[in-house]
Structure 1
Amino acid sequence: MIVLKNIEKIYRTETVETIALHGIDLEIEEGEFVSIMGPSGCGKSTLLNIMGLLDEPSAGYVHIEGTRIDSYSDRSLATLRNHQIGFVFQSFHLIPDLNILDNVMLPLIYRKTSTKERRERARTALERVGLQSRLHHFPHQLSGGQQQRVAIARAIVGSPRILLTDEPTGNLDSQMGGEIMKILQSLKSDSGTTVVMVTHDEEKAEQTDRVVRIFDGRLVA
């Protein structure tokens, strides 16, 4: 599903060169739930952004579903992200002036779907995360755990085959974090979604199929 080959990521300024990732070889199978762990600043989020085609490696290449994507145009990359990849971040990134239903509908605006279909799909996604009674609430009217569930609904409304999550339980208490983990696990088991989760939480990582560890930009396990 996702194959990274000899990935390097280097950030350069006029005076400093920082190696964020070095020699990363990683394969994630279809339907796998993988957690990525490591200390702050080790390259976890950089790796996730490269998997999600939000950032380009300085060297090496990425395959998504058997296709090497370094030859893709920006338009083709945007289409691939919109149709195949969902993103969930630690900060929920909800638009405060839109209600929950409209927030979840946003990714579908870039597809050739009717308003009716967008609303139906958004309602289904919100029902899946247990928020069918909150459609017309605004983000500030929800708890942190509920806002993260909205963010997950928005990420899955387009039925992506890959879901990338960056510290999805990091701002939540243990109960809310447990509920988010149940949702992620159900996406894997019920829909066959490939889930990759960056986390600092060993307990949450142990609930996934495999733990990948990074230290100083290199895979260590």
Structure 2
Amino acid sequence: MIRLENVEKVYRTSSIETLALNNINLNVKKGEFVSIMGPSGCGKSTLLNIMGLLDAPSKGYIEIDGSRVEQYTDKNLAHLRNQKLGFIFQSFHLINDLSVIDNVEIPLLYRNSSAKERKELAQEALEKVGLSNRMKHFPKQLSGGQKQRVAIARAIVGKPEIILADEPTGNLDSVMGNEILNILQKLNEGGATIVMVTHDDAMAKKTHRLIRLFDGTQVV
């Protein structure tokens, strides 16, 4: 489903060169729930961004569903992200001026879906995360756990095959964190392939496989 071959990522300034990822090789199979762990600054988010086509490797290549993407145009990459990938961020990235259902509909705007279809799909996604009674609320009226559930609904509204989650429980207490993990597990059981960055050993142990990074290198 996602394959990285000899991936390296280097960030350069006029005076400094930083090796963020070094010779990463990994293969995430369809239907897997994989967690990525490592100390702060080890390259976890960089790796997730490359897997999500938000950043390009300096060397090596990435395949999504069997297709190598290094020759894709920005337009083709954006289309692939919209069709196959769903993103969940630690800081939610909700728009405060929009209602919950309008926030969830956002990815569908780029598909030229009709207003009726957008509303139906958004309602369906909110029901999956247990927030059908909060559709007309605004983010400022929600708890942290509720905001993250809205973010998950937004990530799954387009029914992506792959969900990439960057510290989805990092801003939540243990009770809310477990609720979010339970939702992700149900999505995985429903067929979604999930890659989750986490600092929480207990969370990681509940996924199928753990990938550890240290100083940008995959620890075997």
- Both structures adopt the same fold (TM-score exceeding 0.5): yes
Q: Structure 1 regions of 5+ residues with no counterpart?
A: none
- How far off is 1:108 after superposition? 0.2
- Once residues 129 and 168 of structure 2 are traced to their aligned partners in structure 1, the CA distance between those partners, rounded to angstroms, is 14
- Once residues 112 and 170 of structure 1 are traced to their aligned partners in structure 2, the CA distance between those partners, rounded to angstroms, is 33
Q: State the secondary structure of the residue aligned to 2:91.
A: coil
Structure 2 partner of 1:216 = 215
- How far off is 1:112 after superposition? 2.5
RMSD over aligned CA atoms reads: 0.4
Identity of aligned residues (%): 64
Q: State the secondary structure of the residue aligned to 2:56.
A: coil
**2:196 corresponds to which letter in structure 1?**
M
Structure 2 partner of 1:10 = 10
Structure 1 partner of 2:158 = 158
- Once residues 174 and 217 of structure 1 are traced to their aligned partners in structure 2, the CA distance between those partners, rounded to angstroms, is 28
Q: State the secondary structure of the residue aligned to 1:171.
A: coil
Q: TM-score, normalised by structure 1?
A: 0.99
Q: State the secondary structure of the residue aligned to 1:195.
A: strand
Structure 1 partner of 2:26 = 26
Superimposed CA distance per residue, residues 33-84 of structure 1 (whole angstroms, 9 cap, x where no aligned partner): 0000000000000000000000000000000000000010100000000010
Q: Structure 2 regions of 5+ residues with no counterpart?
A: none
Structure 1 partner of 2:181 = 181
- Once residues 74 and 172 of structure 1 are traced to their aligned partners in structure 2, the CA distance between those partners, rounded to angstroms, is 34
Count of residue correspondences:
220
Q: TM-score, normalised by structure 2?
A: 0.99
Hey, which bits of structure 1, 4+ residues long, moved more than 3 A? none
| Residues 1:87 and 2:102 are matched in the alignment | no
Structure 1 partner of 2:168 = 168
Structure 1 partner of 2:52 = 52
**2:115 corresponds to which letter in structure 1?**
T
- How far off is 1:113 after superposition? 1.3
- How far off is 1:18 after superposition? 0.3
